[in-house]
Chains A and B, each alone.
Chain A
Amino acid sequence: GENVGLHLPTLSVQEGDNSIINCAYSNSASDYFIWYKQESGKGPQFIIDIRSNMDKRQGQRVTVLLNKTVKHLSLQIAATQPGDSAVYFCADLSSGGYNKLIFGAGTRLAVHP
């Protein structure tokens, strides 16, 4: 079955450093991925997405890389700030006429001053 998982449960970084959060998936037919940020007590918030016809997409301070060969994607956060502290999820949005998100377990990012 589908499995979207994360390599590290917790990532600690210093303020100002770059953060890299990794995610692996098992379904080679997956063609659309989303990164979400979830702050304590809140619902997930969309960060950035990428389709399988791309291998890189950039947003404001964030970049997502997709390696379809090894079924791996990563979220890079530049100049990490205390406000970036949260749990980050990668999710696989299956296609087929309906929206069904398959979430990984999440990585907690802790930013230290």
Chain B
Amino acid sequence: NAGVTQTPKFQVLKTGQSMTLQCAQDMNHEYMSWYRQDPGMGLRLIHYSVGAGITDQGEVPNGYNVSRSTTEDFPLRLLSAAPSQTSVYFCASSSPAGGGTDTQYFGPGTRLTVL
């Protein structure tokens, strides 16, 4: 299994540009999430999904859109990039396990710079 994969690894955008960060997992996990991590801080939840066709907002959703058309993929869209969105973005997936852990598996991250 490749686990959680993210593309691209690095991206530079100009203010106002749009782009999509890709995330895929091959573990058949129901839950997927997007986080952003700013320097010296913990991760903050942007959006999450509990299954195909179901998404919801996290702690910092403004400026981001998501969709979940398949179990495997959970893309994050920036409609009009702003310098405040410069950050490292992590995608995670997990599967609720009765009596077990709900631990999330993280991708390697996408480092985004908005000029």
Interface residues of A (CB under 8 A from B): 4, 32, 34, 41-46, 49, 89, 91, 93, 97-106
Contacts and interface: CB of A to CB of B under 8 A. Distances in A.
- Could you tell me the dominant secondary structure of chain A's interface residues? strand
Given A46-B105, A49-B101, A99 B43 contact: no
A45 B41 contact: no
Contacts of B106: 43-45
Instruction: Sort chain B's interface into a size bin.
Output: 20 to 34
Given A49-B101, A97-B50, A100-B48, A106 B41 contact: yes
Contacts of A98: 31, 48, 50, 56
Nearest to A4: B42
Contact of B102 (A42, A45, A99): A99
Given A43-B90, A43-B107, A49-B101, A99 B42 contact: no
B102 A103 contact: no
